[in-house]
Structure 1
Amino acid sequence: MVLGRTIDIMQRTSVLIVLMFFLFGCASYHDRITDYYTKVGAGDYVEAEKALDKNSLIQKDRNKLLFLMEKGRLAHLKGAYEESNTYFNEADLLIEDAVTKVGDVAVGLFLNSMSQSYKGEEFEIFMIHYYKSLNYLYLGLSQEALVEARRITLQNYSQGDKYKDKSTRYSKDAFSLILQGMIYESTGNYNDAFISYRNAVEVYKTSKGTYYGVSMPEQLKHDVIRLAAYNGFTGEQRAYEKEFGIKANADKSKEGRELVLFWENGMAPIKEEENVIFTLVEGEKGSLFFTNALGIMIPIDLGISGSTSFNGVHSLNIAYPKYIVQPTPYFSAFVKDSKGDTKQLQLVEDIDALAVMTLKERAGKELGKILTRMAVKKSAEYALKAAAKSNGQNGDANAVLEGIGFGVQLFNMLSEKADTRNWQSIPAKISYVRLPLQSGENTIDVVMERPSGQRTTHSITLDGKKGIQFYNFATMR
């Protein structure tokens, strides 16, 4: 009787725990760090850093990469470029030295991926290269920027090796190749610059002109033709001129003065959790797979399930992440130079599209892990309940089994959580423009237009030195 009352107390206490879980445990990563994102979005970088440094969630070891990326981005926004690269270099080492640890893998298999160390999305890793390159250029460290440019190639190779069908996967990053070309060009590596531009063109052509929400920029077409002409690659020059209907600009030389301007608009999408119901069905030759109302079919992940019996498992309600795209503050922009000439900025990277589409691409693999993990946990729960029923003659043992079974059920409920982490302070979209500069002081106005029609001007004053200069700025709200 005492044991039975103990089990009853355990069950009542568990109900309270469940209620507390729904009140506090369902909060997404964004919800728990929203104070930081509100402040950084408002441009209050000092208070944003205080909010980041005191946030207990991002301070956890499993979130160290996120912490370093946010600190690096924040330092860059403040103009502390050396400090920014200190954080990004540490993030780089964390990514490169990331060895799959048995404990970390076990946590993912039997608890949830939110409890694993955050490893970063591929496009987030490319963004580290972007900010590091700009930091080095602003610090006057052109050779270090060149090293970073070369690392972009290695990252693209690493990413491409993951997919057999590169025409439908995020196997390269076109923007990073364009950035690489401009860094090479700014340091006098004109042959390498042409190769980078050509590689970027091929990425767009392979995907029929549009790559993850971005059409091939007109600027890229001009750049690949210009560098082909400059390097004396007459055959490729003429082929691109014919394909794009553009003639090489013979007036453009390496001795010119030019500005490359990047406009970072908005903030990356937010990750939230949604519930998806799947049914376990038997296929041919006894194979098992999950399906849902949309007709998605996911096979059991044998690497996780092993020899587990799934008798009694019929349907599963799983937690899966989804991206919520945030409205960008502006939808277009153009620049006006000192002479009054205007030029439109062109979209070159769409983080919104990348996030949503790459998550969709790997959905099959991710869902397979989650569903199999849930099915294994459910099987253990059902096995304990079945053992309790079949052991009806022994009251105390039966009560113990019932208590353990309820505990497993509670654990399954509380531990199932979608991974809602991501680097949210990076821009939603990046646009760029290349502008000729005059000798002496230049004033450049970037005129941005809101959906309401209201316009805001961001003014830049700089000296027109020989060669290529870089400039980037962000509008988050």
Structure 2
Amino acid sequence: MLKPIFSKFVCIFMVFTLSGCATMQFRDLFSGYAQQMKPVKLKAINGHFDQALQEVPIRDMSDTNYILALLEKGRLTHLAGDYPSSKNYFFQASGYIDEQKLKAKLQVSKGIQNIGAVLSNDNAITYEVPDYEQSMMHSYQALNYLYLGDHEAALVEIRKANLVQRAALENNFDVINDAIVNLQDDAKLDWQSISATYPEMEDVIGEAKNGFQNAYTFFISAVLYEASGELNDAYIDYKKALEIYPDNQYLQNDVLKLATKLGMTDDLVNFEKRFGKYQKNEQKNTGQVVVIYDQGLVEERDEMRLRLPVYTSDAEMRFYSVSLPVYHKSEQYFPNAQLSINDEILTFDQIVKVEALAAQTLKSQLPSLITRQVIRLIAKEKMRKKMSKEGGDVGNILANIYNLSSERADTRSWLTLPQSSNILRSDLTEGHHNISLKIGSLNKEINLDVKANRITLVNITATGNHIDYKAINL
């Protein structure tokens, strides 16, 4: 009696396995990405980047998480100072993303992946890199090129980052609205009631208006343009960064300075009303020091259960528990950081909170996520009924065990990004300088060789008790 039942269950399971084996590793079915990445984050947070790199799960090009492995390795090798390897990983990632976009335009079928996703969970779907992660990838690639002495390639890369944001701004709202309509029409669910039940994540999102406008990218872009003498382009990107972070004192001074230099009379009147007069303090034989401070590692997505009223294939309304990703407020503590320059203590201003962009991105994805969950629930319920009918209690038990164990939220995201980044800017006389960085009880001496009329870019990273920096004259 049991043999036919087990045979049928094995056949159903094999349909899933064969449909998903080319795209999904078996461990991803029952273990979330965030859980698998804990050893990587633990080593990275303590500054052991080479060891963390060895812990990144091995993925091949057919794997649904292949792109994530490239991004994690790109960031870890960047942190380790291995810029050629980091450049190579990000180059591969960028090519893979472009290929996926082309497939989407050509509407290449995802039937095989969809079968696996319907019978398992969203981890069977190839990871689509969200806009904020794409812009961060291009930003770090730009830094790689700078450190390798290729300023032109860095500018090309930063333009790609800005194109990502521009395209996202044009497409984002239509995509979200379409997903909400599909959720209400196809899944017959009330989006308003779901929104009221799902955590708002406002304590994570803060003042971030969306998940793709990234002031970090705009700021790096503006600095590179300014260093190249392209002041009009620099001014545009400083203004874009200021729109996102209007209280950032360094961005305020940047737009006042360039508006004055470029003779932007109308803009200058408006900015001076908001921020006061531009205090010109440019002296001979001085250069500008621009500091970008990346702190911590971004929070991972957590998993939560949400009970939804779902209409089955028999038009019966039942309540089902579904697993959905969510962001909770970070428990990471970041002490204040400050630089001592020529007996003057300077503090940092935030330029991006990566976890806020991540939470806003997830919030915009929810309608599509829930729609797929409902379709999955109905498909799994059909499978359970079929097995129960043909295998009795044993078939019913086997189907329930599989359904419960495979019900996993999609917790995938790029987890070696910083939690947030901050900036600082100051003028220094030409020559060698030792400046002191203080982060809580930790201290770090930073050695700079400042050139007159040039920008010295300093990138500081702090994870746990590990602090490192890289300085370059632009």
Q: How does 1:286-305 map to 2 (within 5 A)?
A: none
- Measured in 1, the distance between the counterparts of 2:287 and 2:362 equals 41
Taking the TM superposition and a 5 Å limit, the aligned residue runs for 1:77-226 are 77-98=79-100, 99-100=103-104, 101-102=109-110, 103-164=112-173, 168-204=209-245, 216-226=247-257
Deviation of residue 316 (structure 1)?
1.1
Q: Is 1:363 paired with 2:393?
A: no
The one-letter code matched in structure 1 to 2:137 is I
TM, length-normalised to structure 2: 0.78
Provide the C-alpha distance between the structure 2 equivalents of 1:321 and 1:181, rounded to a whole number of angstroms: 35
SS of 2:313's equivalent?
coil
CA offsets, 1:444-467, max 9 Å, x none?
Answer: 211112xxxxx2112210111131
* Separation in 1, partners of 2:28, 2:353: 33
Work out the CA distance in 1 between the residues paired with 2:159 and 2:320. Answer: 46
Check whether the contact 2:222–2:238 (CA below 8 A) recurs between aligned residues: yes
Q: Distance between the aligned counterparts of 1:254 and 1:138, measured in 2?
A: 27
Separation in 1 of the partners of 2:226 and 2:322?
Answer: 50
Work out the CA distance in 1 between the residues paired with 2:361 and 2:283.
39
Distance 1:202 1:255, change over 3 A: farther
Report deviation, 1:351.
Answer: 1.4
Q: Which moved more, 1:360-369 or 1:167-176?
A: 167-176
1:75-474 correspondence runs (5 A): 75-98=77-100, 99-100=103-104, 101-102=109-110, 103-164=112-173, 168-204=209-245, 216-244=247-275, 246-252=276-282, 256-280=286-310, 309-312=313-316, 314-337=318-341, 339-382=342-385, 385=388, 388=389, 398-399=390-391, 408-449=399-440, 455-466=441-452, 467-474=454-461
- SS of the equivalent of 1:161 reads helix
Is 1:312–1:379's contact at 8 Å kept on the other side of the alignment?
no
The 1-side partners of 2:232 and 2:44 are apart by 40
The CA distance in 1 between the partners of 2:265 and 2:297, in whole Å, is 42
Taking a change above 3 Å as real, the CA distance of residues 363 and 346 of structure 1, as seen in their structure-2 partners, is same
One-letter amino acid of the structure 1 residue matched with residue 443 of structure 2? T
Gaps of 5+ in 1: 14-22, 210-215, 281-287, 289-307, 389-397, 450-454
Larger radius of gyration: 1
Whether the 8 Å contact between 1:241 and 1:248 is mirrored in structure 2 is yes
Closer/same/farther in 2, CA of residues 374 and 57 from structure 1, 3 Å limit: farther
Q: CA deviation at 1:352?
A: 2.2
**CA–CA separation in structure 2 for the residues paired with 1:115 and 1:37:** 23
TM-score when scaled to structure 1?
0.77
CA deviations 1:250-301 (Å, max 9, x no partner) are 3448985111111111111022322211113xxxxxxx6xxxxxxxxxxxxx
- Counterpart secondary structure, 2:280: coil
> Measured at CA, do residues 5 and 350 of structure 1 come closer, stay the same or move farther in structure 2, by a change above 3 Å?
closer
Query: Any idea what SS the aligned residue of 2:447 has?
Result: strand
Q: 1:57 to 1:316 in 2, by over 3 A?
A: farther
Consecutive unaligned residues of structure 2, counting only runs of 5 or more, are 11-26, 177-207, 465-474
Change (3 A) 1:260 1:63: same
State percent identity of aligned pairs: 25
Deviations 1:84-110 (A, max 9, x none): 111111111111111244233443344
1:475 — aligned with what?
462
DSSP 3-state at the match of 2:91: helix
- Look up the equivalent residue of 2:161 and give its one-letter code: I
Q: CA deviation at 1:6?
A: 3.0
C-alpha distance in 2 between matches for 1:61 and 1:217? 41
Paired letter, 1:459:
E
2: CA distance between counterparts of 1:156 and 1:24? 30
2:283 and 2:410 map into 1 onto residues whose CA distance is 50
Partner SS, residue 153 of structure 2: helix
Structure-1 separation of matches of 2:317 and 2:60: 36
1:62 partner SS: coil
Q: Does the 8 Å contact 2:292/2:460 carry over to 1?
A: yes
Contact 2:29 2:120 in 1 (8 A): no
Distance 1:416 1:328 in 2: 29
Cα deviation for residue 152 of structure 1 reads: 2.2
Distance of aligned partners of 1:177 and 1:253 in 2 relative to their CA distance in 1, 3 Å threshold: farther
Instruction: Work out the number of aligned pairs and report it.
Output: 409
8 A contact 1:310–1:376 mirrored in 2: no
Task: Indicate the SS of the match to 1:462.
Answer: strand
Is the Cα–Cα contact under 8 Å of residues 177 and 196 in structure 1 kept in the other structure?
A: yes
1:409 offset after TM fit, Å?
A: 4.1
State how far apart, in whole Å, the 1-side matches of 2:55 and 2:60 are. Answer: 10
CA–CA distance in structure 2, aligned partners of residues 169 and 146 of structure 1:
25
Counterparts in 2 of 1:104 and 1:471: CA distance versus 1, 3 Å: farther
Question: Which amino acid in structure 2 is aligned with residue 429 of structure 1?
Answer: S
What is the identity, as a one-letter code, of the residue corresponding to 1:217?
N
